[in-house]
Amino acid sequence: MAEIWPCPYCEKVFLEETPLRTHSSRMHNEYLRRGDADPEELPSIEGEFSGSPEVAKYSLRGIPSSD
């Protein structure tokens, strides 16, 4: 079975990690711009991506690093 990478912000899933990180970063910035949530409560795009939505783990640091 192919790995899938779920977005921590919405229902979308990706087949590769790089498009997920691009999408998640854009979603993160949109949430901050609209003020929907406290930045500390938003999931970060950093973290351990297991490739399976059932066991995906996301860092909850809020702001993605600029690497």
**Would you list the DSSP string of 25-57?**
HHHHHHHHHHT-S-GGGSPPS-S---S-TTT--
Residue 67 forms part of a structural domain: no
- pLDDT tens per residue across span 23-55: 888 888 887 787 655 656 656 555 444 444 443
Specify if 47 maps to a domain: yes
Cβ–Cβ under 8 Å, residues 42 and 28: yes
Q: How far from chain centre, in Å, is Cα 4?
A: 13
> In this structure, what token pair is assigned to residue 51?
């490739």
Mean pLDDT over 49-62 rounds to 44
pLDDT value at residue 37: 59
Total number of residues shown for the chain: 67
Domain count within the chain: 1
Which range of residues forms the domain containing residue 54? 1-62
- pLDDT at res. 10: 85
